[in-house]
Structure 1
Amino acid sequence: MCQAFAVSLLEIRKQKQTMKQDSTSNATYTVDCEDYVHVVEFNPFDSGEAGSLLAYGGISYVVIASCRFQEEDSAVEGIEFKTLKTFHHGERVVAIAWSPETRCDALLPLLRFATAAGDKKIRIFTSDFQDKNEYKVIEGHSGYINDLVFCSAEGSDIASVGDDHTCRIWDLDGKQIAMFVLRSPGMSVAWHPEGAFKLMVAEKTGTIRFYDLTTHQAILSLESVQVPLMSADWCIRNTLRIGAVAGNDWIIWEMPRSSYPQDNKPAHADRARLFRWSKCNENVFATTGYPGKMKSQIAIHHLAHPQPILIGTAPVGSGLSWHRRLPLCVVGGYRKLFFWLTEM
């Protein structure tokens, strides 16, 4: 069990955390934060107690927390949210990627994650959950970085994509291993543990390519009719299923049937922003829209249903992530985290 301990950085004014039912925003649970949450990520890896970890990033910091729900532990009433560590970041956090090496119930606990920041740099943070805290800065992108992911089972490599029309592969020392030249800004990058030598890269003009991480060659491509493509994800429960949002629509590909989508439907009245597959059901996914009138819409979809199975709103929502075991997703917003639980 990870040990909760005091955080520095003026303790983010002790980061008052309020857990409660929130009927006004349709969220099942909310957690109060000190500042605007730009990005939020559950740890996606099956790594013991580390599977309950969640990271979120604000204007100049990253918070690592333990997050448990009554749906997985009857001893918990509602939600149990404990801040474990706060890292000063210095720049606005754009994206967060968890390393598969992270462990907090081992003899030698290890916390490792990477961030992309508004200054076009990558930072790799390493901690023992106590006093040993290090970070390394990686420079190389000439444009805004939109996404990054650890792309090896050992957590030894990181892939990043950006507005400079490149996807770059790095080792933990910051050395660039490979670079793929894209035809438009790279919006999303994903790695699948069952497709360990493949990397998915989604471009804004609607092309999704798969690269072989051994030969560094493109091996497959998918095409979207709608543009601009803003976000794509590789289904963890089905390696043949890819989803994305482009324009106002969500889009689904079933590989290797065709390079063109098998299904698409309107997702949001205004432009769609993010797409994320559920980690416990291959037919369920969530999408978010761009903020309108200071609110963002989240919609949870099931491929067997013509309409969303849940629609909620969050004040100026940002970020989207699914719990590894529960049908529950989280969105960041202004001084809050919003959690939605849905029936499967």
Structure 2
Amino acid sequence: MRTVSGPDHTIDLNEQIQCYEICANDFACNLIAVALERRICLIVVGLPEESGEFLWHHLQDLELGDRDGRFVSAITFSPDTSLNSTPNNVTFCAALGTDMKIFRTDVDQYNTFDTLKGHTDYVNDISWVCEGEFLASVSDDFTCRFWSTAAEAENVITFCLSSAGMSIKSHPDDNEKVLVAEKRGIIHLYNVRQNQTVLSVESPKFPLMSADWAQSNRLFVSALAGGDVITWDLNRPFVPADVKQIHEDGGRVVRFSAGSSEAILASIGRPGVTLKVFGAKSTVPLLVAGLKTYAGLAWHQRLPYISAASDRKLLFWKVQMK
């Protein structure tokens, strides 16, 4: 086990971080959106494997406007985001209380945003689905909603839940399917085009706080519920394939690694605010680190780096994968 006292690399933004996300697109995989008190900061990182040393630079700030005490709870990049095009094309959505804002920018002079309204309680997670044709959201108002983002953004599908929606993730291979996870422990596999649930599984524990697809095997889904990481094989969905306690006093978030050929999971939970990284088939952590605060967790799309936001800093650890 690699227990660390500090990260391999740090970005200090001098303001407390509310939320952040790393872009998963091939042409912008080093782009990061960081939500601060009044603005979203776009930065680009260069990792040692790419540039010989750790570098980062500030691209742009986008103002959040009047927040009325609301905080940014989730950020997601559109699949067409690219820093290799001319001009640059950066599109992302930020969940802000009950609303969502879609920002579009060329990281220079052109900036626009649209506001999506319809949820009646806090939005917990958002995701682009169907190759960016729709934006999906889940909320404390017991709904999952799909929004058309073409000419005029509007709520086109509403999927009612039996509890608060905590996670929504687009399928790694089949862009018509999404994972919708509820706080009471139910995870739905939902087909957007057919407007119906294809499959549901139920966690033996709750509250469920987070769920994710395995990038290396689309048939595996994991959730963090009551401090346990619970994994299902969707070929045999009626009983979990694996249940293991990771956080003694409950967890906040779980994420599968993006670039690894094996299933590596990262999670944050209690006691304190503790980051753990481990193989899906192992109970021995690859990495354990303490954080000051919780404000997000994300893997780099291509390189074996896990990141977390803690107070005013973005922290990066290189994970030694087998």
| Fold agreement, TM-score > 0.5 | yes
Deviations 1:148-180 (A, max 9, x none): 001121x22100000000000001132111000
In the other structure, the counterpart of 2:304 is: 327
Match of 1:61 among 5, 17, 39: 39
Task: In structure 2, give the amino acid aligned to 1:167.
Answer: C
Bigger mean CA offset, 261-270 vs 320-329: 261-270
- C-alpha separation in 2, matches of 1:271 and 1:326: 29
Partner of 2:228: 249
State which of 82, 99, 109 in structure 2 corresponds to 1:121: 99
Pick one of 179, 194, 215 that aligns with 1:200. Answer: 179
For residues 156 and 258 of structure 1, the distance between their equivalents in structure 2, rounded to whole angstroms, comes to 29
Aligned pairs (5 A) from 1:167-316: 167-172=144-149, 173-281=152-260, 282-290=262-270, 292=272, 296-316=273-293
Q: Which amino acid aligns with 1:205?
A: R
- Indicate conservation of the 8 Å contact 1:40/1:330, yes or no: no
2:172·2:213 contact (CA, 8 Å) conserved in 1? no
AA aligned to 1:76 is: G
The count of aligned residue pairs is 312
**Alpha-carbon distance between aligned partners in 2 of 1:152 and 1:76, rounded to the nearest angstrom:** 37
1:104 aligns with 2:83: yes
Following TM superposition, by how much is the alpha carbon of 1:24 offset from its aligned partner in structure 2, in angstroms?
7.5
Query: Does the 8 A contact of 1:39 with 1:93 survive in 2?
Result: yes
Instruction: Return the letter of the residue paired with 2:268.
Output: T
Counterpart for residue 148 of structure 1:
126
- What residue identity is the alignment partner of 1:85? Q
Aligned residues of 1:195 and 1:239 also touching (Cα < 8 A): no
Within the candidate set 50, 58, 61, 1:86 is matched to 61
Task: Using the TM superposition, give the Cα deviation of residue 290 of structure 1 relative to its aligned residue in structure 2, in angstroms.
Answer: 4.5
Tell me what 1:51 maps to.
29
User: Post-superposition shift, 1:67?
Assistant: 1.0
Instruction: Output the TM-score relative to the length of structure 2.
Output: 0.93
**Distance in 2 separating the partners of 1:228 and 1:80:** 39
Deviation at 1:213, TM superposition (A): 0.9
User: For 1:304 and 1:207, how far apart are their aligned partners in 2?
Assistant: 23
Equivalent residue letter for 2:109: D
Is 1:240–1:255's contact at 8 Å kept on the other side of the alignment? yes
Distance change in 2, residues 1:108/1:317 (3 Å): same
Range with greater deviation from structure 2 (122-131 or 306-315) = 306-315
Q: Does 1:28 align with 2:8?
A: yes
> Residues of 2 paired with 1:223 and 1:277: CA distance?
20
Separation in 1, partners of 2:293, 2:122? 21
- Please give the secondary structure, in 1, of the residue aligned with 2:302: coil
CA distance in 2, matches of 1:257, 1:245: 19
SS in 1 for 2:184: coil
Q: Tell me how large the CA RMSD over aligned residues is.
A: 1.5
Q: Distance in 2 between matches of 1:122 and 1:304?
A: 37
The percentage of aligned residue pairs carrying the same residue is 34
Equivalent in the alignment of 1:135 = 113
In 2 relative to 1, CA 332–229 (structure 1 residues): closer, same or farther, beyond 3 Å? same
Instruction: Please give the alpha-carbon distance, in whole angstroms, between the structure 2 residues aligned to 1:258 and 1:152.
Output: 24
Taking the aligned partners of 1:331 and 1:40, their CA distance within structure 2 comes to 9
Q: Which runs of 5+ in 1 are unaligned?
A: 1-22
- Runs of 4 or more consecutive aligned structure 1 residues displaced over 4 Å after TM superposition: none
Please state how far the C-alpha of 1:271 moved relative to its aligned partner. 1.1
In 2, distance between residues paired with 1:268 and 1:193?
27
- SS at structure 2 position matched to 1:194: coil
> Is 1:39 paired with 2:19?
yes
Amino acid at match of 1:299: K
- AA matched with 1:39: C
CA contact (8 A) 1:314 1:338 kept: no
Name the CA distance, whole Å, in 1 between partners of 2:145 and 2:270. 28
Unaligned runs of 5+ in 2: none
Comparing 133-142 with 248-257, greater Cα deviation is found at: 248-257
Could you say what secondary structure the match of 2:45 adopts?
Answer: strand
- What amino acid maps onto 1:312 in structure 2? A
